[in-house]
Chain A
Amino acid sequence: MQVPHTPLLDLDHIDIGYDGQPVVHDASLQLPEGQIGCLLGPSGCGKTTLLRAIAGFEPVMRGEVRMNGRTMSDPGFTVPPEKRGVGMVFQDFALFPHLTVGDNLRFGIRHWSRAKQDERVRQLLRLVGLIGYEPGYPHALSGGQQQRVALARALAPRPGLLLLDEPFSSMDVELRGELAREVREILRAENTTAILVTHDQNEAFAFADRIAVIHEGRIAQLDSAYNLYHRPANRFVADFIGEGTLIPGMVEPGNQVDTALGHLQGPLSEDLAPGTAVDVLVRPDDIAIDNENGEVRTEVLDKAFRGADFLYTLRLPDGLSVQCMAPSHDNFVIGEHVRLRLDFSHLVVFSRESGVDCPGG
C-alpha cells in the first residue's frame, strides 16, 4: 500500500456533515510533505469543517482521510485528535491562561525529558522572536505576540502536519501581511507541512503553495495562486479570485472571440467550436486606457482610488460595463470618454450552452 511519494495528507472523496446533512461534499486533496496548502473560501463554505475533520474533531460520513498512507478517518472510525500528531493554531489562539508562556510551549511535549523540553522551548522562542518572555503569562502579551506563542506551542511537538484556522483574522489589517510572511518563514525553517484556512485571498497568495478554493462545501479548484487567477476552472473561481467581469461573446475561428470589446485574440482556455456562445473573463489588467491608440470608446462610470492606480468602471457602447486598472497619474473624471486598448495574453472562456457552470459539480 505504501508507494514512494505517498502524499503526507490524502483526502479521498470525503463527505462531512452534522446530523446526516453533509456540509462538505466529495472533497479530495493531496498535500506532499513540506508544502503549504490553503483552504480559501467565503465564510460558511465549509472550509473550517474540512480542517476540523483533518484534525480529527469531526468524523467523516464518506471517504477516507489518510496521513502518510495510514487511515485516520473513515465512516465509523476516527483516530481522536490527541493521537494524530497534528498541530493546530486557533483563530482565538486558545493559549492556556493559567500557564506561563514557557508552560504553554511545554504543554505538548510534557513527556519529553526536562532538558529536551528546555532546549526545544529555547529554540522555539528564538524562532518566533520572543526570547525572555518565557516566565510571563499570555494576557500580558500583544495580539501578535500571542499569535506567535500559539504557533510555537503548536510546533513544539514537531507535528507532521500543522493546521492554522484563520490565524490572522483577529489582527490589524496592516499586521496581517507581515505576520503571514513571518509565519511562512518559521514554517519553512521547521520544514513543516501546513494547511491554512482563510477567507482572505491575499493572505492565501502570500502564504500557500497550493490553494483549494471552496464553494458551498465543494472544492471548486485546487491550484497555485497564479493559475487560480489566470486559469480559473469555473465561474465561481473566476468571480471569487481577483477582480473582473464576464462579458458575453461568440467563438470565431482562429482563437478569436467576438465581444462588445471587439475581436479578442488569444489562446482559449477551453477548446470550443466556432459559433459557441461564451462568457469571456475580462480582468482589470487585460485592458488599458490608451486615448491615442485605443479602439474601443467607453465612458467612465465610476472610479476608486487605490493609491498607485485607479480602478475604473467603464461603460461600453452597448451598455455593458468592465473594470480597468490604470496608473493613478492620469485622473479621468466620471462621465469622461476614454479609449481602451486590449491586452489579452490568453482568453478565459466559459461556454454558455453547458448550462449553469457549477463549481465542482
Chain B
Amino acid sequence: MTDSVTSTGARMPAFRRPRLPLSPWSLVAVITALVLALPVLVIFGHVFIPAGEVWEHLRQTVLADYVTNSLVLLVGVGIGVLLIGVPVAWLISMCEFPGRSVFQWALMLPLAMPAYIIAYTYTGMLDFSGPVQGLIRELTGLGYGEYWFPEIRSLGGAMVMLLLVLYPYVYLLSRAAFLEQSVCVLEVSRTLGAGPWEGFRRVALPLARPAIIAGLTLALMEVLADYGTVAYFGVSTFTTGIFRTWYGLGDPAAAAQLAAVLLSFVFVLILLERWSRAKARFHHTSRRYSTLPRYRLRGWKASGAFLACLLPVLFGFLIPTVQLAIWAFQTTDQWMNPRFAGLVFNTFWLAIAAAIIAVALALVLAYAQRMEGGRITHVAVRIAGMGYAVPGTVIAIGIMIPFAAFDNALDSFMRDTFGVSTGLLLSGTVFALLFAYAVRFLAVSLQTVEAGLGKIQPSMDDAARSLGLHPVKTLWRVHMPIMRGTLLTALLLVFVDVLKELPATLILRPFDFNTLAVRAFELAGDERLRESSSAALAIVLVGLVPVILLSTTIGRSRPGQGAPADEPAEDPGRRPRSRALAAPAGATMNPSADEAQDR
C-alpha cells in the first residue's frame, strides 16, 4: 500500500460518493449547455409575448416580402449548389481528366470567400462604372440606358453570389460519399450491365443521397444566416428585417419575434434533413476497398469536364480574389498605415480569445461526456453544440435583450441606492461579443475536440488514474498533450470563422470597435469598394488556411488507404472547415469516431 493508506479499519468518509441526482461532470455539462442556449431561449420566449404595434405593422407591410424573398433565395441557391456540387464531385472522384488533381482541392477555394465580400467585389466589377460595362460601352459606343445589362444588385444577383461560395459544401460531402462507396458495389453494377452513366444514376447517386442532402442543408443554413450579401444588395429577407426592426424601428420585441420566425425556418431545415436521412440508412456492404479505377476521359469529354470544374473556381474564387488584389495594390495607403494595423490587431486578438474560449468549453464538454456518458450529459452536449445552426443575427438579438435588461436594472438599482451609475457592464462590451462567438462556434471546436478525444483509448485514462492522477489532472497531463495537434486545429477553425463573422459583430461590438469584417462591410456600404479591398483580401487570405488544411487531409479520407492508425491525423469527415459542416456531416460520413468513444 502507498503511504496514504496506512490507518486501518475505518472508511475514508471523504470519498463517500454524494448522492446527487447529477454527477459533477453532468452538472458542468448541463450548466454550460443552459448558458449557451440562453440566446435561443430568449428568442423563443418572445413568441409568447403579445405582438405589439410594430409587429402588426411588419405583418401588414413587409413580412410577406421577407418570407417570399427568403424562400426564393433558398430554392434558387439550393438548385444551384446541387447542379454545381454533385456533378463536379462525381467528375473528380470517378473520372480522370487533365487538371483533375488540381481541381480536387481548387474546387474548395470558394469556401474561403465570405458571401458579402464576393458580392461587393462583383458589384464593383459589374455595375455601371465598373470595368465590364465600361469595356462594353467602349467596344459598342453605346451610352447609358442604350443597352441591357443584368442588374447585379437584385434577388437574382444575391442568389448567384451565394451559390458561387456555397456549392463547396455539396461538393465536399458528396465527394466524400462517392469516395466512401465500395468499389465492389460499383463494379457489381458494371457486371450487371450498367455503364458509367447508369452506374452513377442508379447506384452511386442514391447511395450518396444522404450526404448530398446534408451538404445542401448546410448551404441553405448559410443562406438563411446571410446578412451581408442581402443587405448590400437591398434584398429584404429576415436578417435585414431584424436589423431594420432593431435599429430603425427600435423595437427589440418585434425583432426577436422576427428572429423566432427565422429560427423556425432553420429548424424546419434540420428536421427535413433528419427525416430524409432516417428513411435511408445505408450500410457499406463490403469492407474491402481498393484504389478506384477512374474512367479516363478524352477529347471533348475531357474538355467538358475541365470546363465544368474550372468555371466554379474561376467565378467563385479566382476572379474576385484577383480583383481584390488589384484594388488593394491601387490603394496601398489604405492598409499601409497604423490604423489598418490596429484593425488587424483588434480582429486577431478578438478571434484568438474567442477561439480559446470555444476550445476550452469544447474540451470541458467532451471530457464530461467521456467521464460520464449518461443520457443527460449527452443531451446537454448536443444542445451546447446547436449554435452552429442559429444565424448570427438571431444570436446577437438573443444576447442583446437580456444583457441590456440586466444592465438597465443594475444601473437603476445602483443609482437609486448609491447614487452611482454603472452604465453598460455586459451589453456593448467585448464580453457580449465573445459570448456570441462561443454560442455560434462551439460546434466547430466541439466536433474537432470530440473526434480527437475519441481517438485516445479509454485505457489511457485508466492508466493515469491507477498511477494516482485525478481525472481533471489527467485531462491536463495526458489528454491535452496527446491531442495537441487537434486542439490547434480547433483553435484555427474557430479563429477563421470569427474573423469572417459579420452580423453578430455588427450588432454586439462595442462603440467605435471595428474588425476587418465590419470595416470591409462598412466601406463597401459607403460605395468605397476599393478602400475596402484590403480588409476583404486579408479575410480571404486567412480563410484559405483551413481550406488548405482540409485539402491535405481529405486525400487520405479513402477507407483502406488512409493514414496509419497510430498517426494523430485528423479525420476529414469529422474535421470540417466550418461550424456548419460539423453536425450532419459527422453523422453521415464517419461512424468510426463515434464508435471509438463507446466503451
A residues with a Cβ closer than 8 A to B are 1-2, 55, 57, 59, 67-71, 76-88, 90-92, 94-98, 107-108, 139, 153-154, 156-160, 163
Contacts and interface: CB of A to CB of B under 8 A. Distances in A.
Contacts of B17: 59, 76-78
Contact of B463 (A69, A90, A156, A159): A90
B459 A85 contact: no
A70 B9 contact: yes
Contacts of A68: 1, 5, 8
Contacts of B469: 82, 107
A107 B460 CA distance: 12
A85 B5 contact: yes
A88 B463 contact: yes
Interface in B479-497: 481-482, 484
B231 interface: no
Contacts of A108: 467-468
Interface string B444-467: 000000000000010110111111
Given A71-B11, A77-B15, A159 B470 contact: no
Nearest to B568: A97
Contacts of B15: 77-80, 83
Contact of A85 (B1, B7, B10, B19): B1
B483 to A, nearest CB: 9
Contact of A2 (B1, B9, B470): B9
Contact of A91 (B5, B459, B464): B459
Given A80-B15, A108-B467, A157-B468, A85 B2 contact: yes
A82 B482 contact: no
Given A1-B8, A76-B19, A153 B481 contact: no
Interface in B535-550: none
B466 A86 contact: yes
Interface in B2-23: 2, 4-5, 7-12, 15-17, 19
Nearest to B460: A94
A92 B457 contact: yes
A69 B463 CA distance: 25
15 contacts: A2-B8, A70-B10, A77-B11, A77-B16, A78-B15, A79-B15, A81-B466, A87-B467, A90-B462, A94-B457, A98-B478, A98-B481, A98-B484, A107-B464, A154-B467
Nearest to A70: B8
Contact of A82 (B10, B457, B470): B470
A84 B12 CA distance: 11
Given A68-B1, A84-B5, 19 more contacts: A2-B9, A69-B8, A70-B5, A70-B8, A70-B11, A82-B465, A82-B466, A83-B15, A84-B466, A85-B4, A87-B466, A87-B467, A88-B462, A90-B463, A96-B460, A98-B481, A153-B463, A157-B467, A163-B466
Interface in B367-403: none
B8 A76 contact: no
B333 interface: no
A159 B12 CA distance: 19
Interface of B: 1-2, 4-5, 7-12, 15-17, 19, 457, 459-460, 462-470, 478, 481-482, 484, 566
A96 B459 CA distance: 10
A94 B467 contact: no
A71 B209 CA distance: 58
B150 to A, nearest CB: 58
Contacts of B5: 67-68, 70, 83-85, 160
Contacts of B11: 70-71, 77
B260 to A, nearest CB: 39
Contacts of B4: 83, 85
A81 B465 contact: yes
Contacts of B10: 70
A55 to B, nearest CB: 6
Contacts of B12: 79, 83
A94 B462 contact: yes
9 smallest A-B Cβ distances: which pairs? A108-B467, A85-B2, A94-B459, A160-B1, A94-B463, A88-B466, A81-B465, A90-B459, A98-B481
Contacts of B468: 82-83, 85, 108, 157
Contact of A96 (B462, B466, B482): B482
A59 B16 CA distance: 12
A163 B466 CA distance: 10
Contacts of B462: 55, 57, 81, 88, 90, 94
A108 B463 CA distance: 10
Most B CB within 10 A of own CB, among A78, A83, A139: A83
B1 A76 contact: no
Nearest to A76: B17
B8 A153 contact: no
A79 B466 CA distance: 12
Given A85-B4, A139-B566, A153 B467 contact: yes
B9 A69 contact: yes
B452 to A, nearest CB: 13
A101 to B, nearest CB: 14
B367 to A, nearest CB: 16
A201 B84 CA distance: 62
A332 B2 CA distance: 60
Contacts of A154: 466-467
Contacts of A80: 15, 465, 470
A34 to B, nearest CB: 14
Nearest to A71: B11
A57 B464 CA distance: 12
A79 B16 CA distance: 8
B303 to A, nearest CB: 48
Contacts of A70: 5, 7-11
A96 B465 CA distance: 13
A55 B482 CA distance: 24
A284 to B, nearest CB: 39
Nearest to A139: B566
Contact of B467 (A67, A98, A107): A107
A163 B481 CA distance: 26
B570 to A, nearest CB: 16
Contacts of B482: 96-98
A191 to B, nearest CB: 13
A101 B339 CA distance: 52
Contacts of B466: 55, 81-82, 84, 86-88, 154, 163
A32 to B, nearest CB: 14
A338 B550 CA distance: 72
B16 A157 contact: no
Contacts of A96: 460, 463-464, 478, 482
A105 B5 CA distance: 22
A78 B13 CA distance: 10
A159 B8 contact: no
Nearest to B458: A94
Contacts of A160: 1-2, 5
Contacts of B19: 76
A76 B457 CA distance: 27
Contacts of B459: 90-92, 94
A157 B465 contact: no
